[in-house]
Every structure is written in C-alpha cells, then in structure tokens.
Amino acid sequence: MNTALIVAAGAGIRSNLKTSKILYEINEKPLFMYSVELFQSLGYEICLVVSKADLNKVMDYVKPPVQVVIGGKTRGQSVLNGLKSITTPYVFIHDAARPFLSKPSVLALEKALEQHDAVFLAEPVTSALKHVSKNDVTSIDRSQHLLAQTPQAFLTEKIRRAYLRADMFYDDDISLYQAIYEDADVEAIINQDINPKLTYYHDFIHYKKLMEGNLHMKVGHSYDIHALKQGRPLILGGIQIEHDKGLDGHSDADVCLHVIAEAMMGALGIGDLGTHFPDTDLKIEGISSQKIIQFVDDKMHAMDYEINNIDVTIYAEEPQLKPYIPQMRVKIAEMLNIALPQLNIKASTHEKMDAVGKKQAIAAEAVVLIKQVIQ
C-alpha cells in the first residue's frame, strides 16, 4: 500500500485570499479535499499536513483513517513532520494547491516507480526560455528542461532519511533527494493532464469560475481538405514532413493549422479563412500558415478569450503521421502559448475511400474550446 502525503500547511500569502488557500471552496468543497478524495479513491493511506491555525476547520471534513499532522514553519519541515508518521513502503508527496490531479497521472507514477528510485510528474517548457544575468540575456534550449509538478514519489525510508540529513532549503523533494543520493535513479513522467498549481488570486478565481460553470466558453469546428501535388513541400502542424508530394493551396497549405485557425474563428464568430485570407489576394500567395494562426490568436486575445483545449484529426493514407505528432504538438503549443495537455492531435485514414483514401489529398478537422479571460 502507498501513502499520499498531502502538504496543506502553507500560509498562501501570495493568493491574497481572505481565508487560508487550502480552505478556499470550489463547488462547496475546500481545495485540500480534492486531493484527499482522489488518493482515497485509489486506495491510498492519507497523511494530511496542515497548519495549526487551520486544524479545527480541516477536522470538519476529514475523519479516520485520514491522519492529520501539524506542519512546520517551512514546507520542508512540514514534509518531514508527515514522513515521521508514515509506515507504508512508498510515499507520494503532493501539494494540496494542485487540486486537479488526475487518476491516470498517479497511475503513471505508480508504474514508473516499479523501475526507478524516485519519480515525479512534469510538463514541458513551451514558452521561449531565457537566462538573464546583469545585462546579458541568453536563450536556452527549452527541449532540455521540464517544469516539475507534484506528486513526487519515493521509497518512504529513503526520502525520510534524506529529509533528516538535509541542512539547507531545496526547491522540491526531488532536488533534496538528488542532493543526498548522488547516484539516485530519478525519472520524470510527462503529465498528459492539466495539473495547475493555484498560487495567485487570479488562479483561484479563474478555476472557481471554470469548475462552477460561470466561465463563458465557446466552441468552434472546422474541416478542410487539400489536394496533394508534385513539387510542393508537405507542411503539417508547422513542420515539414518527408514525402514525395505536398499540399496544394494559395498559402503553404498546412491543412492542420488551417482547421485550428478556422475553428478558432468560428468560436469567436469572425468568419472563416476565406474572409480574412482570400485566395484571390496575390499579396499573401505562399503565406506561412503560422502567420494565419498568429493573426487569429491576436484576435482572440483582443476579444478577451483564451484557448481551453484543441482536438485535431488529420486524415491521410500516407505518409505515416504518428511519428511526427509529438513534434507537431510542441510546435503548435509554442505558436499558441498553451500547455501540451491542452492540445490533442490524432492521425487517421479514409480506409482507401474518396480522394484521401486514394492518396490524392489530405484532410483535417478541429474542434476548439475557448474560454473568457478573467480580468
């Protein structure tokens, strides 16, 4: 059996809430209970670390076998207080400020923990990454970096021993573990689901409105098809793909980006691609579809909306697109400044029927959900 050590003892000063952030209610449920209930549903023992000031209110919601421990002045002290009472072989340390953790994410950690000393959830860096030192700004290869999330999972005895030996502050539990065990076998698991950390006032208001259905949301859909033609590069999802033919069109004919852009237009109610980028306009002949995406993205933000999620299907008999999908997702997420879990891309065929099935064309369709930006 495993234990979830849920850290809920922070003061939450940056949230500017009138109450403790772990007691902030979404759908009439305090934040910390989302994590408690998730791990309970997976059969975990629960060790909940809270501040002394929140203890009485927390006890209104939990009962044995949930174990409640008083935290310390720092997160590290709070984690150690919890670790001292855990008896299961493995412990999953999780911040209560991440209330939307999913079951598949936890199960992925469990599987990885069978092969590694320590594992943690992470997300890719999709924005441009810079290192700033005095007057020097240096670009960093973001493909070599990840953003760490929780849970972070360990053999209980090893992480407890690490905390007992720690003599300084560390960014997270993995950092401490690696500092104590120099040869530690640590594995990062890319989280396929949204797992935000609620920190600032905007975060709490945004997710409260989203979860309680008070956030204005709109849906857009688009379908497009382009003929394959000799002598043209095949560009899909913003990347060039090895093939003997490319897609024909007035622009670079990136049918994947076209359907995303047009679905966004549909959700915003601002017409279609032909309205804004007519194929009779010689000035835009050969235009990159990335510029089209940027145009629509700017329109969306000007109207105070942002992307919630996108689902795309590309239909092609050949080439095989599955190997290219991860690169497409990263490229498009970068264009739209969204996280990878907000974008899904699938590849399918037309079962050798019609123009797509006869390898004469490639088609795509997209569904986009956009949401109102909380000011």
Structural domains of the chain sorted by starting position, each given as residue range(s) with its CATH number in brackets? 2-211 (3.90.550.10), 217-372 (3.30.1330.50)
C-alpha 39/C-alpha 9 separation (Å) is: 18
pLDDT at 375 over 70: no
CA-CA distance, 351 to 15, in Å (whole number)? 53
pLDDT tens track for 213-272: 777 889 999 999 999 999 999 999 999 999 999 999 999 999 999 999 999 999 999 999
| 100-123: pLDDT as tens digits | 999 999 999 999 999 999 999 999
Task: Report whether pLDDT(374) > 80.
Answer: no
Rounded CA gap, 68 and 82, in Å?
Answer: 9
φ/ψ of 326, rounded to 5, equals -55, -40
Q: Which amino acid is at 188?
A: A
For residue 288, give the DSSP letter. -
**CA–CA distance, 182 with 108 (Å, rounded to integer):** 25
pLDDT tens track for 32-63: 999 999 999 999 999 999 999 999 999 999 99
The residue type at 130:
K
Structure tokens that stand for 32 in this block: 């910390």
Region of 31 please: left (phi>0), alpha (psi -120 to 50) or beta. Answer: alpha
pLDDT confidence of 1, banded at 50, 70, 90? confident
Both tokens assigned to 231: 């002598």
* Per-residue pLDDT, 66: 96
Query: Residue 143 has what pLDDT?
Result: 86
Mean pLDDT value of segment 130-147: 89
